[in-house]
Amino acid sequence: MSEKKSIESDHTQTNAYVYDVDTNEEVDAFEQMKGTEGYVEYRTLNWFQGGGLLLAETLALGVLSFPNVMANIGLWPAIFTTIVLAVLAWITGIMLVDFKLNHPSVMNFADAGYIVGGKFFKWVLFGAIVLKSVLIQASHVNSGGGAFTAMSRNAVCSVLLCFFMALLGFVFTIPRKFSEVSWASFASCISIVSACLITIIGVGAVDRDQWRDANGDIPWRAQRDSGLVDTINSLTNIIFAYGGHAAIFAFLGEMKKPKDFKKSLAMVQVISTLFYILVGVSVYLIVGENNVKSPALSISTYTVETVAYAIALVSITISGAIPATNGAKQIWVEAFKGKKMLTSSDWKSYGLWIALVFTTWMIGFVIAQLIPFFSSLLSIISSILTCWLTYGISGILFLYDNRKQYKKKIWMTAFSVFIILFSSVITPLGMYTAITAIKEGYENGSYDHPFACKSS
């Protein structure tokens, strides 16, 4: 009979912190379980796989709103804002990696929250990640169901198609290790890139007269004086497009070398920003501000739209499974940290995992039916959660880790204060504009009732 490793003898645990008894150094929850019966090694990601996962989640649905952003605030303000927010997200991503390197026991935002603000902040961030994951699942259910509805020409009730999309997302969330879906993430990226390029070619190949207004022009604006609602909604849509930060700690927890994730961030920010600008500018200039739709794949003819959506479904499914896995993993780690179940490969652990992810997808399905809109949903997620998880929280973590070096690191300290203030301002403004847009949509009859069969 083989000797089993005693967790208690080699490690001590205090909430988010796990220490090695011999070295008195922090270790992560996977290291704590290493050598126990049924242990499965989760730290198997390299930087390229980690980059693929983050890129798949980043490109995903965010790109589909960029032509609409161009139409709302104008070409140059949209490009400028996209580049600025991309650079900010790049820096804050590096800040999250540095925090992980300073605190190896951190497996997720909840762990980081405990280190910085105790149990209260831990549960605030725990709830934020779980809520954001479920809302993203709802968004993917809504988008996938809309894609199926468009392709079927309303032949099947959209509620059933959304339910099928939820089941499809559930299947791709069954794997427990990110490395098991990392290569599929590249298929997701190719899928959404191909779908957008097909849309660009499709809207450019048709008779351009259909895009002209009564004066025979295809109007577009270099800049536009938009109202508060359109401006803030556009800003939060761009923020949503850089919202993959919510999963960074989870990715880092499964990296072979967490410090290599900085390479992943460089890859993701450069590729995603160039692609966002390409899609937004191309579609906007071709069809003009009067013909832009969100999501952008619905702009072209039925045939082009059907092909684009069919290809995009790969991305909608896989990129939805990544945040779903992130949310479920946070629940899993919190429930089983320090217990064999955390890394066990037996039937009981897989059964519980499957039950957990199935439940989150069903909740996402219900939410998708209760909130039948797209852009405003992105604004709600961005203003409440994504803005803080991508920007504001990074500033708080930096200020905590460098609380004795503010003068020495004056520029990064100033930057941290700025992004905290930025998030504080965007949150109430984003909530106000999203609620206003939703209210106006219902007053104008733009939205269907919950669980109603919708037309594409």
Say which residue, 91 or 13, is predicted with more confidence. Answer: 91
pLDDT at 296: 85
Of 116-120, 289-293, 358-362, 451-455, the poorest mean pLDDT is in 451-455
pLDDT at 375: 55
Say which residue, 148 or 79, is predicted with more confidence. Answer: 79
Nearest to 430 by CA among 420, 442, 418, 438: 438
Question: What value does the mean pLDDT of the chain take?
Answer: 87
pLDDT at 195: 94
pLDDT at 372: 62
pLDDT at 6: 44
Say which residue, 56 or 376, is predicted with more confidence. Answer: 56
Residue 281, pLDDT above cutoff 60: yes
Residue 243, pLDDT above cutoff 70: yes
pLDDT at 378: 60
Of 350-354, 393-397, 444-448, the poorest mean pLDDT is in 444-448
For the chain, percent of residues with pLDDT exceeding 70: 91
Sort 43 into a burial class: Cβ within 10 Å, 0-12 / 13-18 / 19+: middle
CB atoms within 10 A of CB 262: 15
Residue 124, pLDDT above cutoff 60: yes
Residue 94, pLDDT above cutoff 50: yes
Residue 1, pLDDT above cutoff 60: no
For residue 313, the Cα-to-chain-centroid distance in whole angstroms is: 16
Residue 418, pLDDT above cutoff 70: yes
**Which positions ≥6 away from 49 have C-beta within 8 Å?**
178, 179, 182, 183, 185
- Alpha helices in 206-257, H assignment, sequence order: 228-241, 248-253
pLDDT at 7: 46
pLDDT at 108: 94
Q: 374: pLDDT confidence band, cut at 50, 70 and 90?
A: low
In order of their start, the domains of the chain are 7-443 (1.10.4160)
With contact defined as beta carbons under 8 Å apart, do 241 and 277 qualify? no
pLDDT at 434: 76
Containing H/E element for 12? Answer: strand 11-14
With contact defined as beta carbons under 8 Å apart, do 136 and 381 qualify? yes
For the chain, the first-to-last Cα distance in angstroms comes to: 63
pLDDT at 419: 97
pLDDT at 376: 66
Residue 14, pLDDT above cutoff 60: no
As a whole number, mean pLDDT of residues 363-373 equals: 82
Separation of alpha carbons 408 and 405, rounded Å? 5
For the stretch 422-451, pLDDT in tens is 999 998 888 888 778 778 877 777 776 777
Say which residue, 442 or 66, is predicted with more confidence. Answer: 66
pTM of the model: 0.90
For the stretch 17-65, pLDDT in tens is 555 444 456 778 888 888 777 788 999 999 999 999 999 999 886 788 8
pLDDT at 4: 42
Residue 20 is given by DSSP the state: E
For the chain, percent of residues with pLDDT exceeding 90: 57
